[in-house]
Amino acid sequence: MRRRAALPRSAGLVQRAVPLLAAGLARRATSLLTALLLAGCGSLAVGPDYHVPAEAAMRDPAAAGPFQETQAQARSNAPGADAALSTDPLPPRWWHLFRDPTLDALVQEALAHNTDLRVAAANLELQQAALAQVRAAEQPQLSLSGGPGFGHVSGLSELAPGLSPSNQFAYSVEAGLSYQVDVVGELRRAAEAAQADFSGAAAALDLARVNVAAGTARAYALACATGQQLKVAESSVSLQKEQLGVVQLLHDAGRAGATDLARSRALLAQLEASPPALQAQRQAALYQLAAWLGRTPGALPAAVQQCAAVPQVAGALPVGDGAALLRRRPDLRRSERQLAAATARIGVATAQLYPKVSLGLSASSTGPAGDFLGRDTFAWNIGPLIRWSLPNTGAVRARIAGAEAGTRMALASFDGAVLQALRETETALSAYRQELISVEALKRARDDSAQVARQAQRLYVGGRSAYLDALDAQRSLATAEASLAAAQARVAQEQVAVFMALGGGWE
């Protein structure tokens, strides 16, 4: 009966022993931990310390100077391009420059519900978890174990051959505390790489915000622009129908031939072919806008679906300079952080050439349940553990060479990103400036064509000119109006392209 009652008693003693032993171990290890932490804080760090290389494209003074297009604008005498660009700083929410409340609401909704942003945000959380995991390796590790048992030891283990020890309940409790001393900075370099990866993921999230804001504005501008083009095309169709009616009356009165009537009908058919194509473009833009908003294709407000006025920024676009561009663009920050992470990983690889030093403290109590935590059951140990894989230095040096190559690749990618950012910006600025010049020319062409069409129509109705002259004038007017509407649509698209190239909208 006593043996059956001892089992729950020993199990309860073991359960109480684990926290007691851990508390005693923590008190004995206080001074040791202090010494270990001081040793870790004073450790060296193999591998190169990170800094942006002097030969990096970002350090080129020309990259941080004024844009070539803003300087070209100052030298230009072309009408319409003298006030296209301004060196004022780009505002964080550049879409407010359009002064369109509908666009403001759409961008805010997209920034809140876009699926690409959700992916980027989840990736940032993933990198944050990876960083926390790396940082945890720098902390002391505590382990606890214990459990009861029933049986007896062998006689030989007691140096008493022939002895048959009695069965009894026993227990075993053990606690350990270990700390890896970062002698050569392996953990520090790993933390630097993880921190750079986390910062790069944050920059990727900012880049997604830039793309979402610009994509939403572009889709909205395209939908409105095609709506305006559709109105122009439908207006041309209506005017040509009126013209056909006039020709029909003249034909019935014997003042116009069948050829004039056929030509008028042919022009009407040509003009009627434009609205369906424009309607398809408009629907595609609306579907794209819905995707940016995280909505289904048909779930757009009526005001958006009926928009027929191109949103445009009045006045010069504030574009700043190259220095502001390099500071602002998230893709450059992401590339720079990738270079920092690659540099830190050289140190992680180099640390494999050196021994790893861990300091540990362990304590245990093992014995019969009746002598639970007795002085003769207690054992403890403290000391360093050194691990050094000498035969694998060839593989380690190969990993170092690979890490160094990865750093060179990251630097080349960083330089390429800087050059691409400058190219994209200058290209967008140039396209916008030239498009404004085209709009001014097309406005003059439209006005002149309208005047010629009115005069040709009066002369034809008065019988003073052939219908072919009036027909050509009407065709020229329709072409000029369509070209102007298309150019105005491109202006809106180019404005958004400029803001996207400048990298604003994530702040």
pLDDT, mean over the chain:
86
Whether 419 shows a pLDDT value over 90: the answer reads yes
pLDDT tens, 448-496?
Answer: 999 998 998 888 788 887 777 877 888 888 889 889 999 999 999 999 9
9 within a domain of the structure (yes/no): no
pLDDT at 314: 85
224 within a domain of the structure (yes/no): yes
Domain that holds residue 64: 30-142+180-354+404-502
Q: What percent of the chain has pLDDT over 70?
A: 87
User: What does the DSSP assignment read for 469-488?
Assistant: HHHHHHHHHHHHHHHHHHHH
Mean pLDDT of 18-26: 47
Model confidence band, residue 7 (pLDDT cutoffs 50, 70, 90): very low
Token representation of residue 306: 């009926």
Token representation of residue 40: 């870790």
Model confidence band, residue 239 (pLDDT cutoffs 50, 70, 90): confident
pLDDT at 33: 46
Model confidence band, residue 260 (pLDDT cutoffs 50, 70, 90): confident
Model confidence band, residue 43 (pLDDT cutoffs 50, 70, 90): low
Mean pLDDT of 214-218: 96
331 within a domain of the structure (yes/no): yes
Mean pLDDT of 258-267: 87
CA distance 59 to 57: 5
- For residue 445, give every residue at least 6 positions away whose Cβ sits within 8 Å of its Cβ, in sequence order, or none: 480, 483, 484
pLDDT tens, 169-189?
Answer: 888 888 888 889 888 999 999
Q: What percent of the chain has pLDDT over 90?
A: 53
Residue 344 and residue 192 in contact, taking contact as beta carbons nearer than 8 Å:
yes
pLDDT at 361: 87
pLDDT at 421: 97
Considering the entire predicted model, what is its pTM?
0.82
CA distance 276 to 270: 12
Mean pLDDT of 206-229: 95
The SS3 of residue 244 is: helix
Whether 337 shows a pLDDT value over 70: the answer reads yes
Whether 369 shows a pLDDT value over 80: the answer reads no
Whether 321 shows a pLDDT value over 50: the answer reads yes
CA distance 83 to 100: 21
Q: How many helices (H) and strands (E) does the chain have?
A: 12, 6
**Distances from the Cα of 203 to the Cαs of 193, 309, 496, in angstroms?**
15, 35, 21
The domain that holds 225 is classified in CATH as 1.20.1600.10
Whether 200 shows a pLDDT value over 90: the answer reads yes
pLDDT at 152: 67
From 215-219, 222-226, 304-308, the region with the lowest mean pLDDT: 304-308
Whether 4 shows a pLDDT value over 50: the answer reads no
pLDDT at 98: 95
Phi, psi of 81 (to 5 degrees): -110, 0
Among 320, 332, 300, which residue's Cα sits nearest to residue 58? 332
- For residue 110, give every residue at least 6 positions away whose Cβ sits within 8 Å of its Cβ, in sequence order, or none: 212, 213, 215, 216, 292, 293, 294
Mean pLDDT of 188-208: 97
Containing H/E element for 209?
helix 186-252
Whether 149 shows a pLDDT value over 90: the answer reads no
Mean pLDDT of 134-155: 81
Mean pLDDT of 293-298: 90
CA distance 156 to 489: 97
pLDDT at 472: 80
Whether 30 shows a pLDDT value over 70: the answer reads no
Containing H/E element for 507?
none
Token representation of residue 180: 């890896």
> How many Cα atoms within 13 Å fall on the side-chain side of residue 8?
4
From 19-23, 87-91, 113-117, 258-262, the region with the lowest mean pLDDT: 19-23
pLDDT at 78: 65
pLDDT at 61: 94
pLDDT at 18: 44
Q: Alpha helix (H) ranges present in 253-273?
A: 258-272
CA distance 22 to 18: 6
68 within a domain of the structure (yes/no): yes
Give the total number of structural domains in the chain. Answer: 1
CA distance 276 to 233: 10
Model confidence band, residue 79 (pLDDT cutoffs 50, 70, 90): low
The SS3 of residue 49 is: coil
Whether 8 shows a pLDDT value over 50: the answer reads no
| CB burial readout 240-261, b (16+ within 10 A) else e | beebbebbeebbeeeebeeebb
From 234-238, 247-251, 314-318, 338-342, the region with the lowest mean pLDDT: 247-251
372 within a domain of the structure (yes/no): no
Q: Which residues lie across from 144 on neighbouring strands?
A: 175
Mean pLDDT of 363-381: 80
166 within a domain of the structure (yes/no): no
pLDDT at 159: 57
93 within a domain of the structure (yes/no): yes
1 within a domain of the structure (yes/no): no
How many of the other CB atoms lie within 10 Å of CB of 181? 18
Phi, psi of 205 (to 5 degrees): -65, -40
pLDDT at 469: 80
pLDDT tens, 89-143?
Answer: 999 999 999 999 999 999 999 999 999 999 999 999 999 999 999 999 888 888 8
